[in-house]
Amino acid sequence: MSAPAPSRPATHARRLVPARRARQQGVALLVILLLSAVAGMLALSQANSLGGLFRSARDERDLSIARQAAEAALRDAEADVACMGWKDGLLVQVLSPDTANAYCVSIAPHCSQMMPTADGSGIRLLGTNPSAPPVEVDWTVARGACAVGTCAVELGAKTGAPTIQGVSNQPRYHIDAFDVAVTGTGEPTPLFRITARGYGGSGETVSELQEVYRPCR
């Protein structure tokens, strides 16, 4: 009876299986880490993008508030030069120089008498052809303290217009007055260049608007 053939040792195959599994697990862990990093970067990028959109929307809203405040200041300036004031929620004619411009007592006879004869509160008389560049306007004078033609008037300081809510500062306006001649008559009539500044809720947002207002046609 012949001797049985020797069997192959199985230890070599058993040693390879754990090493292969370890390598596979290491690669899988590396892939998971890379995917986690990519997902984190994508989430961070998305968060930054959404934050930028929110900031942009907030800034745009604040600028819109500032523009609306500047528009209100333009309308307030028009009421100022037309000798109008707010009373019981309505704009009415003001004929008292104590609350309006000095020429307001004589506005009724003729529109041409609206032309100022000298500088007033927030109104600067530049005439027909200014000989020199005008002095820079002071936009920081406190409410009710603007008594010369080189400072800006706060909304409602002369007309009694209601204040605007939700803004860091109340809007202001300044007026430059020119005299022009009406074609065909040669009669001098006033032309007002109004500059208005509105402020947003943040205090850093400022909107400036300008118009030429000609009440006499």
pLDDT at position 68 is 95
Assess if residue 201 is contained within a domain.
yes
Pairing relationship of beta strands 188-199 and 172-181 according to DSSP bridges: antiparallel
pLDDT at position 108 is 47
Which three-class secondary structure state does DSSP give residue 155?
Answer: coil
Assess if residue 4 is contained within a domain.
no
| Whether the Cβ atoms of residue 143 and residue 133 lie closer than 8 Å to each other | no
Per residue of the chain (217 residues), give pLDDT as tens.
555 555 555 555 455 456 666 666 666 777 787 888 888 888 777 777 767 777 788 888 999 999 999 999 999 999 998 888 888 888 888 766 555 676 776 554 456 567 777 888 999 988 776 666 788 999 999 998 999 999 999 999 999 999 999 999 999 999 999 877 665 666 667 889 999 999 999 878 999 999 999 876 6
Q: Is 179 exposed, middle or buried (0-12, 13-18, 19+ CB in 10 A)?
A: middle
Assess if residue 103 is contained within a domain.
yes
pLDDT at position 173 is 97
Give the pair of three-digit tokens for residue 151: 């400072």
| Whether the Cβ atoms of residue 160 and residue 87 lie closer than 8 Å to each other | yes
Count of domains forming the chain: 1
pTM value surpassing 0.95: no
pLDDT at position 186 is 64
pLDDT at position 90 is 86
Backbone dihedral angles phi then psi of residue 178, each to the nearest 5 degrees: -125, 150
pLDDT at position 5 is 56
Assess if residue 42 is contained within a domain.
no
Nearest residue to 123 via CA among 161, 94, 144, 150: 150
Assess if residue 85 is contained within a domain.
yes
Assess if residue 196 is contained within a domain.
yes
pLDDT at position 32 is 80
Assess if residue 138 is contained within a domain.
yes
Assess if residue 119 is contained within a domain.
yes
Domain that holds residue 153: 55-213
